[in-house]
Amino acid sequence: MPRPSKGARLYWRKPTKTRAGQWVILDGQTERKTGTVDRGEADQALADYINARGINRHTHTPETFLVSEALVEYGENRAPSRAAPERIGYAIKALMPFWHDLPVGAVTMATCARYASYRGKSAGTVRRELGVLRAAMNWCVKIGALTRCPPVELPARPAAKELWLTRGEVARLIRAARTDPRSKHLARFILLAVYTGSRKTAVLDLRFEPHPRGGWIDCDRGVMYRAANDARLTNKRRTPVRMPAKLLAHARRWSRQGGWVVNYRGAKVGDIKTAWSRIRRIAGLPAATPHTLKHTAITWAMQRGANLPDAAGFFGTSVRVIEKTYWHYHPDFQAGTAAIMDRKG
């Protein structure tokens, strides 16, 4: 039985000795060059190709276009070129059971609220999933499949979590990882995440040489590049970071093996969910998540008096977010005003 077509999509064609690398459009057995290494330009080329080919021969109104059609179109032809396609896939899988037989016109404030109740998940999870629904409908409007996108009511953004770990608690996590044969690879992950404040995906995608799938560690210059050279910029900033001396010493030792920085028996680690759950139980830290390490890193920096612009560049987080979420840990937090209030007369 022939495999079903995945539809027109972008694919990174690696460079060879005779050909430069670039994004190409794959559509069944057809391959068309985009002539660019820039993802944004490649996305536009894909949209132009889809319109020119007439994949969507009719522009539908919200009442005549199913939500499931919008999700499939987005998942097949747009998601592969986004920054985190696997997360989009998880969201689409969650959205489908509730929305699949409803028309786009049924997306209202009331149905979004019913979806939140149906999911029974945190506001943050529902917010991300409905964000994918909105992106899917907007994509269909952009390529001419849909006349308009109805507004999507998102749950309120949850308050930032302030959980952070002490140095002793981080040491317990590392010991738990090193003593469990199935979780030893997490020791590297923890060190990289807590001393650079990098997100989970950025750490798992690291190698010791430049590559198109993620960042790399330059052990000669002592710089960790959190993103591939041609990676599309997103609000999850993956700026380069200068590695602290102790972490760089570890990295230089690890680099003798080459390959993926965080690896399991030499292979890339796809996710750490199971291993992380195991070590946090051993360490007695049930509330800690991989993202807790980023909170921990920024909190430590604030406690030690880091200035805001420098910290923002180092952690790949905006000054506004650091000031809003972490500034109260800084020794200078409201120090001037407090001193004024202490003055006599």
Q: Is 281 found in the same domain as 191?
A: yes
Structural domain contains residue 12? yes
Tell me, what's the pLDDT at 30? 75
Structural domain contains residue 137? yes
Across residues 219-235, what is the average pLDDT? 75
Write out pLDDT tens, residues 54-74.
Answer: 544 567 889 989 999 999 999
Tell me, what's the pLDDT at 60? 86
Structural domain contains residue 183? yes
DSSP of 170-185: HHHHHHHHHHSTTSTH
Q: Is 315 found in the same domain as 181?
A: yes
Which one of 128, 158, 188 terminates a domain?
A: 158
User: What is the extent of the structural domain holding 186?
Assistant: 167-329
Q: Is 112 found in the same domain as 183?
A: no
Q: What is the CATH number of the domain that holds 129?
A: 1.10.150.130
Q: Is 253 found in the same domain as 144?
A: no
Distance in angstroms (rounded) separating the CA atoms of residues 331 and 324? 15
**pTM for this entry:** 0.66
Distance in angstroms (rounded) separating the CA atoms of residues 133 and 75? 10
Across residues 29-45, what is the average pLDDT? 81
Distance in angstroms (rounded) separating the CA atoms of residues 270 and 203? 11
Tell me the CA distances in angstroms from 190 to 24, 145, 185, 272, 313, one per residue in order.
36, 45, 9, 11, 20
Q: Is 286 found in the same domain as 258?
A: yes
Q: Is 123 found in the same domain as 7?
A: no
Q: Is 179 found in the same domain as 85?
A: no
Tell me, what's the pLDDT at 25? 85
Q: Which amino acid is at 95?
A: L
Number of domains in the chain: 3
Q: Is 172 found in the same domain as 141?
A: no
Determine which of 125-129, 229-233, 327-331, 339-343 has the lowest per-residue pLDDT on average.
229-233
Distance in angstroms (rounded) separating the CA atoms of residues 336 and 165? 28
Structural domain contains residue 335? no
Structural domain contains residue 343? no
Across residues 221-235, what is the average pLDDT? 72
pLDDT at 3 over 50: no
Determine which of 83-97, 172-186, 241-255 has the lowest per-residue pLDDT on average.
83-97
Q: Is 141 found in the same domain as 240?
A: no
DSSP of 111-136: HHHHHHHHH---HHHHHHHHHHHHHH
Structural domain contains residue 345? no
SS3 218: strand
Q: Is 299 found in the same domain as 196?
A: yes
Structural domain contains residue 109? yes
Write out pLDDT tens, residues 325-343.
Answer: 999 999 999 988 988 888 8
Q: Is 301 found in the same domain as 180?
A: yes
Residue 226: half-sphere exposure toward Cβ, Cα within 13 Å: 25
Determine which of 148-157, 224-233, 271-280 has the lowest per-residue pLDDT on average.
224-233
Q: Is 126 found in the same domain as 67?
A: yes
Work out whether the CA dihedral 284, 286, 287, 289 comes out positive or negative.
Answer: positive
Tell me, what's the pLDDT at 235? 46
Q: Report the percentage of the chain scoring pLDDT > 90.
A: 62
Q: What is the CATH number of the domain that holds 298?
A: 1.10.443.10
